[in-house]
Amino acid sequence: MLNPLFEIYSDQWLLAVHKPSGLLVHRSPIDKHETEFALQYARELNGGQHVYPIHRLDRPTSGVLLFARDPDTARLMGQAMMAGEVSKTYQAVVRGWTPESGVIDHPLKEEPEDRRLKGLEQPVREALTHYRRLATTDLPVEIERYPTSRYSWVELYPKTGRKHQLRRHMKHINHPIIGDANHGRGRHNRYFAERFGQGRLLLAATELHFKHPVTNEAMVLKTPPEQSFQDVLTLFPTT
């Protein structure tokens, strides 16, 4: 099978790839029967040698995924992540017209992956997301109670790293991400899935900014959304 990852950046310490929507980063107790993971494909790109994921992307989210090639680099990058020295940019398509920009400061309760822990009281942690609207569209289709349906294309900048933070935050301000089965709106999700011939979460990690852990170079890793996302963006007027 062809490797579904493609390299964005590579040196002797780091490997950055684009992960497609639908691919798990690594094994998860939620998807015990899956046999394909970004981790194994990244190892293939690394000549069969082990790689160390620096962060994770949810299965339905596409975009920039960073690995370290050795434990020391992984440790240094992990420390930078914990210190808030790694900034991420995402793009999303959401229901409704958002304000031009804003800040979502809304604490979130932990969401454990292990189902056995879900009945236990979980801690609530601070969660902060900034956002900026890139474009809007008003489609001549009646999906809910209005004759037309409005959507926004936005950039999202998470300042904390809570599980499903962006999806939960956009739902909190009543602009859920299209394709989000857990936090979104089913009618809108179905419309996009039918119109474009596939259903996917319209969330993509497009930029990663950090200082190189060895060379101290300012790193900016970018990737456009994958084609299935770009197809949806044709709904928005170009400037």
Question: Cα torsion for 192, 196, 200, 202, to the nearest 10°?
Answer: -70
User: Which one from 11, 58, 70, 231 is the annotated catalytic residue?
Assistant: 58
Q: In DSSP terms, which residues pair with 239 in a beta bridge? A: none
Structure-token match 């857990």, residue found? 182
Is residue 58 part of the annotated active site? The answer reads: yes
Nearest to 137 by CA among 127, 120, 119, 151: 151
Burial (0-12, 13-18, 19+ Cβ within 10 Å), 166: buried
100: tokens are 């031009």
38: tokens are 């970004």
Active site residues: 58
